[in-house]
Chain A
């Protein structure tokens, strides 16, 4: 799990330039209960998908979260839900910033 967070941290660094529109407060702290964490992750994912830019691993992490909860591993379930939420929030921040920043990728004009 630490490795997964480390990877997400790397992604945050990589996205530093495109996170300018979302303040630090947009990435909320982990919620207290599984139900809250899971619902927050679902809402964040729905927002990313509505913006047509969800990341491909997020659905699977959310499924793993549900499985962990069903198996009684609540702490793992919350951690996974929070990871899914973070990914979805980063995806949303990426798509919002790229709506302006995509021109920075132009190399032929």
Chain B
């Protein structure tokens, strides 16, 4: 009996070890394969459009809405804010690579010196604080508008988030974000994955559930439900509330790690933010 049990344990242990070691690129490829199998008629880039990739009726309404996109004003306001110099004469352009134009595909990134994930919104506020300006609220308002403008200048660029395999901090942050995505939370005992992987494409009340793939490409988003433009982390907080979990703070370590994971998964897809959703 021992002769049989030992090899089985060894194989089991190896399989568990391989599972635990699955890295970001393995995860991303697994997601691509999973959703391509599940939605064989949906071209890969279409996943960047969320549920509109596979809900025909909702897509028609969305395309009509895009004729006069509700986020247009936010882009204009964001541009004005972006181009307005700080009191010290410097501007946002001085804080970002390429003057902040067309750079959103590189966010979030792991700042090795600080030992943390930096989202675009966090970087905007870091820029403000470095120039003696007060930080802005993270979920809605001027910061979301600046982010919308920066997203607009990045449209068409492929998401290119980096999780360097030799950077233990970055790998750990990605892994923590992944763990959050699969962790059941709240009184309803749901994980993000319960809806967006296991039940992706199925109807939840009036809407179909979007796929993990592409979830990070189109932010900030003007949601009709909100009546304004908001950041991805506002959506995180809303999702947590919907499963009766108390939302965490915007730009908390947990939410930034989650955004890092989600953004990496969308690598290779073209940015299409800001977006509009119901």
**Could you tell me which A residues sit within 8 Å of B by CB distance?**
11, 14-15, 18, 49, 52-59, 87, 90-91, 94-95, 98, 101-103, 105-109
Query: Is B245 in contact with A107, judged by CB distance below 8 angstroms?
Result: no
Cβ contact of A56, chosen from B182, B183, B246, cutoff 8 A: B246
Q: Does B162 contact A (CB under 8 A)?
A: no
Q: Which residue of B lies closest to A108 (CB)?
A: B30
Q: How many contacts A-B (CB < 8 Å)?
A: 74
A–B complex contacts, Cβ < 8 Å, 12 sampled: A11-B189, A18-B189, A52-B254, A56-B240, A56-B241, A56-B244, A102-B183, A105-B184, A105-B193, A106-B182, A108-B31, A109-B19
Q: Which residue of A lies closest to B33 (CB)?
A: A108
- From A14, A18, A105, A109, name the one whose CB has the most chain B CB atoms within 10 angstroms: A105
Residues on A with beta carbons closer than 8 Å to the beta carbon of B30: 108-109
Compute how far the CA of A28 lies from the CA of B127 in the bound complex, rounded to whole angstroms: 50
- Chain A's interface: helix, strand, loop or mixed, by majority? helix
Compute how far the CA of A90 lies from the CA of B188 in the bound complex, rounded to whole angstroms: 11
In the complex, besides A11-B187, A57-B187, A109-B19, 6 extra interface pairs with C-beta distance below 8 angstroms are A52-B248, A53-B185, A55-B187, A57-B244, A105-B182, A108-B197
- From B34, B184, B244, name the one whose CB has the most chain A CB atoms within 10 angstroms: B184
Smallest beta-carbon distance B34→chain A, Å: 5
Query: Is A107 in contact with B197, judged by CB distance below 8 angstroms?
Result: yes
Cβ contact of B34, chosen from A15, A94, A95, A108, cutoff 8 A: A108
Compute how far the CA of A56 lies from the CA of B193 in the bound complex, rounded to whole angstroms: 20
Q: Does B80 contact A (CB under 8 A)?
A: no
**Could you tell me which B residues sit within 8 Å of A by CB distance?**
19-20, 22, 26-27, 30-31, 34, 179, 182-187, 189, 191, 193-194, 197-198, 240-241, 244-248, 254
- Chain B's interface: helix, strand, loop or mixed, by majority? helix
Compute how far the CA of A94 lies from the CA of B187 in the bound complex, rounded to whole angstroms: 9
Cβ contact of A94, chosen from B26, B184, B254, cutoff 8 A: B184
Compute how far the CA of A95 lies from the CA of B245 in the bound complex, rounded to whole angstroms: 11
Q: Which residue of A lies closest to B29 (CB)?
A: A108
Q: Which residue of A lies closest to B180 (CB)?
A: A102
Residues on B with beta carbons closer than 8 Å to the beta carbon of A109: 19, 22, 26-27, 30
- From B182, B197, B248, name the one whose CB has the most chain A CB atoms within 10 angstroms: B182
Compute how far the CA of A53 lies from the CA of B184 in the bound complex, rounded to whole angstroms: 10
Smallest beta-carbon distance B130→chain A, Å: 29
Smallest beta-carbon distance B201→chain A, Å: 14
Q: Which residue of A lies closest to B247 (CB)?
A: A56
Compute how far the CA of A5 lies from the CA of B86 in the bound complex, rounded to whole angstroms: 55
Compute how far the CA of A102 lies from the CA of B179 in the bound complex, rounded to whole angstroms: 7
